[in-house]
Amino acid sequence: MKVTKLIMFAAAMMVSLNGFAEGGGDRVFEKMLNANTRAMEQYAVNQGKPVPVVKDYEYGMKLDVVKVVSVVRPVAGCAAVPAAMTYEDSQGQLNTIKYTVAGDCPGRGG
């Protein structure tokens, strides 16, 4: 009986730690995105362009990418994870989009 309770407790802890890890990844991404946003604000000022506003990518959205300026890489994870890209379009305007990609799962062959 004690062994069963110990196994159940260990399983519950693993689920809890996995939840913290996933939430931690989101916090790490938000910090990276905030740092990128500040860098892109400075880049825009230096280039004499308006500061890009972060927009969420929507399926089917047409992107006019002429030059990629910055990419916020996703954190490692075995699920869908956030990423972001700042690019210059054919009009010379800076755009930043936030999107979701398949995570780079550690230990997965490929």
> Which strands, in side-by-side order, build the sheet including 94-102?
54-56, 94-102, 80-88, 67-72
Residue 109: per-residue pLDDT = 57
| Alpha-carbon gap, residue 37 to 109, rounded angstroms | 33
Whether the CB-CB separation of 11 and 51 falls below 8 Å is answered with: no
Q: What is the CATH number of domain 2-102?
A: 2.30.140.50
- Find residue 101's DSSP bridge partners: 81
| pLDDT-flagged residues of the chain (< 50) | 3-22
Report residue 9 as tokens: 């407790």
Residue 73: per-residue pLDDT = 84
- Find residue 102's DSSP bridge partners: 80
Residue 2: per-residue pLDDT = 53
Cα separations in angstroms, 31 against 27, 57, 97: 6, 19, 16
Residue 9: per-residue pLDDT = 42
